[in-house]
Chain A
Amino acid sequence: MAEETTPSPAAAGGGPREAAKPKPVAADASSHPWVASLAAGVPEAVLAAKQFGGQVTVTVAREKIADVARHLKEREDFAYCVDVTAVDWRDRQPRFDVVYHFYSFSKNDRIRVKCGAAEGEDVPSIAGVFLAANWSERETWDMFGIRFSGHPDLRRILTWEGFRGFPLRKDFPLEGIETGAAIYPEEWPEGGGPSPDDPNRKVVS
């Protein structure tokens, strides 16, 4: 458990049991054992590490993310990939943060790994390391337009192939966009909906 092994000043934040204590504060976590293990195992990967509310966040280099995931899974026993998502910082460079959560059954604790990605930059897919990341990465591509290189099946998942725009980007309008889909079938090639050359269209009932 994190409480026993955390030498950092944020040890008061400790593991998940202490997380509900009033007024959590952020602290540096570069000396945390998992972060040290990552820095030693994957050279030039770790860029920053912090701890807040008992949760460790490691920022890593984008190119190394698959190696980092493999290291965490094989060396640190983070066998369960909880989630993959992203945050759009709009005016910041790089624009996006891709955020991964991993859980370890033996440590009973989580680690959050982040990497920055500029618009149009590919992030190495971790679907080859954790099968669970497959759909989460598809969702991140669908919602933010971040491509995952090496993903086995990177299609849109919540919207449809042919949809224009990425809904969770900050510059996507809340009221939505005109797609012309569905109720006016003669309009769909223009606005949205399955395009005529979409391979899924050959599927008939």
Chain B
Amino acid sequence: MADDKLSQAERDEAAYFAERAAAAGVPRPLAGALDTPAATNAEPPTLFDVQEMELNFGPQHPSTHGVLRIILKVDGEKILEAIPDVGYLHRGTEKLFETETYPMGIPHTDRMDYIAAATNNHAYCLAIEKLIGVEVPRRAQLIRVILDELQRLSSHLVWLGTSGIDLGAVTPFWYAFREREQILDFFEEYCGARLTLNCMRIGGLPFDLTAGWVERLMEFVDDLPARIDDYEQLLTDNRIWKKRTVGIGVLTAAECIEWGLTGPILRGSGVEWDLRRAQPYECYDELDFAIPTRTGGDTYDRYIVRVQEMRQSARIIGQCIDRLAPGDIRGKVPRVIKPPAEEIYASIESPKGELGFYCVSNGTNRPYRMHCRPPSFINLQSLPKLAKGHLISDLVALIGTIDIVLGEVDR
């Protein structure tokens, strides 16, 4: 930031701290060294004259959201190179799919992106439905969309709470988890589980809705925009939040596409692309919702995109509830699923981006190969580029803004 962009108060503050640091004998940063780099490709500025050292960030660091290890080469606080090391949570899920029948694979998908299990179930079922050509009844489609959007809300709320707390904003965490708790209650009432939901079946759903569920959900959804206003009031114009996020980890639209980044990252860089609109599945094509985009491509813009997406999810749930009518919840699925010896790829817009399943069948009742295209894994690839030249504390913001779940990265 150039001096002329600072307010008088900020200049006074900087002068005060410089004076205190000088009095305490702290070496003064070189001129311009603490400025936010304009482009992440630019040569990182020199901070202090210290030796380059290697530092392990994680795998047991709370802000890595699980077990992510990043090998950092740092010059003081400044990151010269960041090398992610993943795989600590690798459980061989793709191998497990091959040993079990098609319906038995659904609970395994819960354990991949474990804070958005419903969308995982959905993508997996969608691939097999495409393969065997099953029509999902309309009521099941609508309930699936409701569950997906509830899951998107809960995933974004976890993201909001945790990435806020990573950057020192403790308060939004309590508000976000209060609403998430209610969403988990809805899931619990629907399928008995709160986290690993196993809430979809090939061709439809396991259960119909319980009495009163829809009414309570409608109440919750009506109330939600006001709650989202609360979160925004805490963060959107918060000076500290903006200082920690604006201009941090800038990605252009071309870079996003080159790196294969999807989801809120892509939309935060100005590409209006959402699989719910581009290649609609279930009944998304008849629903009225906007795709929030921002053009800055930094951490702050991705925050805005996610918050706006929560508002849209609430709208979608409301529309689905209006359309709900009695009907079947399961299509005509054979008792033993033996797809033709073919291959299929199906993908949905999960809270984190494009979640796809590539299924190869050899005509038996078990998948010959089931591969998951995990958005977290692909999105995490951009971390070395994002982190270069930033400070270690910004790395925490960057891990948060990519929104990874290590269960999905490592599978």
List residues of chain A with CB under 8 Å of any chain B CB: 16-17, 19-24, 26, 52-53, 55, 57, 79-83, 85, 87-88, 99, 101, 105, 108, 110, 112, 130-136, 139, 143, 156-160, 167-168, 172, 174, 176, 200, 203-205
Give every chain A residue within 8 A of B99 (Cβ-Cβ).
Answer: 174
Q: Is the CB of A131 within 8 A of B90?
A: no
Provide the bound-state CA to CA distance between A158 and B296, in Å.
33
Which of chain A's residues have a CB closer than 8 A to the CB of B135? Answer: 20-22
In the complex, what distance in Å separates the CA atom of A20 from the CA atom of B283? 12
Residue in B134, B258, B340, B346 whose beta carbon sits within 8 Å of that of A22 in the complex: B134
B133 touches A110 (CB 8 A): no
CB-CB under 8 A for A168 and B258, given A20-B130, A24-B133, A132-B381? no
| Chain B window 121-150, contacts with chain A (Cβ cutoff 8 Å), 1 for yes, 0 for no | 000000001110111100000000000000
| Contact between B95 and A174, CB atoms less than 8 A apart | yes
Could you list 24 A-B pairs, sorted by A, with CB under 8 Å? A20-B135, A20-B281, A23-B133, A53-B130, A53-B344, A55-B345, A79-B257, A80-B257, A80-B260, A82-B347, A83-B358, A83-B373, A87-B368, A101-B373, A105-B257, A105-B271, A112-B345, A135-B378, A139-B377, A156-B87, A158-B87, A168-B94, A203-B54, A205-B56
Size range of the interface on B? 35 or more
- How near does chain B come to A72, taking the closest CB pair, in angstroms? 14
Residue of A nearest to B277 (CB): A108
Q: Once the chains are docked, how many angstroms separate the CA of A110 from the CA of B347? A: 11
Secondary structure call for the B interface = mixed
Q: Is the CB of A158 within 8 A of B90?
A: yes
B356 near A: Cβ within 8 Å? yes
Note all chain B residues with C-beta closer than 8 A to A158: 86-87, 90, 410-411
Contacts A20-B135, A20-B136 known; 16 new A-B pairs at CB < 8 A: A52-B344, A55-B344, A57-B343, A82-B260, A82-B347, A99-B358, A105-B257, A105-B271, A108-B279, A130-B258, A133-B260, A135-B380, A139-B377, A158-B411, A159-B90, A203-B71
Instruction: Provide the residues of chain B in CB contact with A108, threshold 8 Å.
Output: 278-279
> Is the CB–CB distance between A204 and B377 below 8 Å?
no
List, in ascending order, chain B residues with CB within 8 A of A57's CB.
Answer: 343
B342, B377, B381: the one contacting A52 at CB < 8 Å is B342
Q: Which of B96, B279, B347, B369 contacts A87 (CB 8 A)?
A: B369
Query: Is B55 positioned at the interface, with any CB of A under 8 Å from its CB?
Result: yes
Q: How far is the CA of A73 from the CA of B195 in the complex (A)?
A: 40
Q: What is the CA–CA distance of A130 and B272 in the complex, to the nearest angstrom?
A: 21
Inter-chain contact B260/A132, CB cutoff 8 Å: yes
- Contact (Cβ within 8 A) A160 B345: no
How long is the Cα–Cα vector from A57 to B343 in the complex, in angstroms? 9
B354 at the interface (CB under 8 A from A): yes
Q: Are B95 and A85 touching (Cβ within 8 A)? A: no
Contact indicator A130/B260 (Cβ below 8 Å): yes
- Indicate which residue in A21, A53, A82, A205 contacts B373 across the interface (CB closer than 8 Å): A82
B371 within 8 Å of A (CB atoms): yes
| Closest CB pairs A-B (n = 7) | A132-B260, A158-B87, A205-B56, A22-B133, A23-B133, A83-B373, A158-B90
Enumerate chain B residues within 8 angstroms of A131, measured Cβ to Cβ: 258-260, 381
Residues from chain A with Cβ under 8 Å of B273 in the complex: 105
**A-side contacts of B410, CB under 8 Å:** 158
- Chain A residues within an 8 Å CB radius of B29: none
> Chain A residue with minimal CB distance to B331?
A22
Residues of A within 8 A of B371 (CB): 83, 85, 99
From known contacts A158-B87, A167-B92, A203-B71, infer whether A135 and B258 are also in contact, taking CB-CB under 8 Å: no
A132 touches B259 (CB 8 A): yes
Expressed in whole angstroms, the Cα–Cα distance for A157 and B380 within the complex equals 13
Within 8 A of A (CB), among B78-122: 86-87, 90, 92, 94-96, 99
Whether B192 is near chain A, meaning CB under 8 Å from some CB there, is no
Taking a contact as CB atoms under 8 Å apart, the answer to whether A136 and B87 are in contact is no
List chain B residues, Cβ under 8 A from A81.
260
Q: Cβ of B377 and Cβ of A24 under 8 Å apart?
A: no
Chain B residue with minimal CB distance to A99? B358
> Does B153 belong to the interface (CB within 8 Å)?
no
B205 lies within 8 A of chain A by Cβ: no
Question: CA separation between A143 and B410, bound complex, in Å?
Answer: 12
Contacting B55 at CB < 8 Å: which of A80, A88, A205?
Answer: A205
Residues in B neighbouring A130, C-beta threshold 8 A: 258, 260
In Å, the complex CA distance between A143 and B129 comes to: 27
Please name all residues of chain A whose beta carbon is closer than 8 Å to the beta carbon of B130 when the two chains form the complex.
19-20, 24, 53
B354 touches A82 (CB 8 A): yes
Closest to A139 in B: B377
**Given A101-B358, A132-B381, CB of A17 within 8 Å of CB of B280:** yes
Closest to A23 in B: B133
Q: Which residues of A contact B278 (CB under 8 A)?
A: 108
Closest CB of chain B to A40's CB: distance in Å? 26
Closest to A73 in B: B258
B360 within 8 A of A: yes
Residues on B with beta carbons closer than 8 Å to the beta carbon of A87: 360, 368-369
Q: CB-CB < 8 A to B133: which residues of A?
A: 20-24, 53
Bound state CA distance, A108 and B272, in angstroms?
Answer: 13
Residues of B within 8 A of A176 (CB): 92
The minimal Cβ–Cβ distance linking A169 to chain B, given in whole angstroms, is 10
Give Cα distance in the complex from A17 to B136, angstroms: 14
Across the interface, do B343 and A52 meet the contact criterion of CB distance under 8 Å? Answer: yes
Rounded to whole Å, the gap between the CB of B269 and the closest CB of chain A is: 13
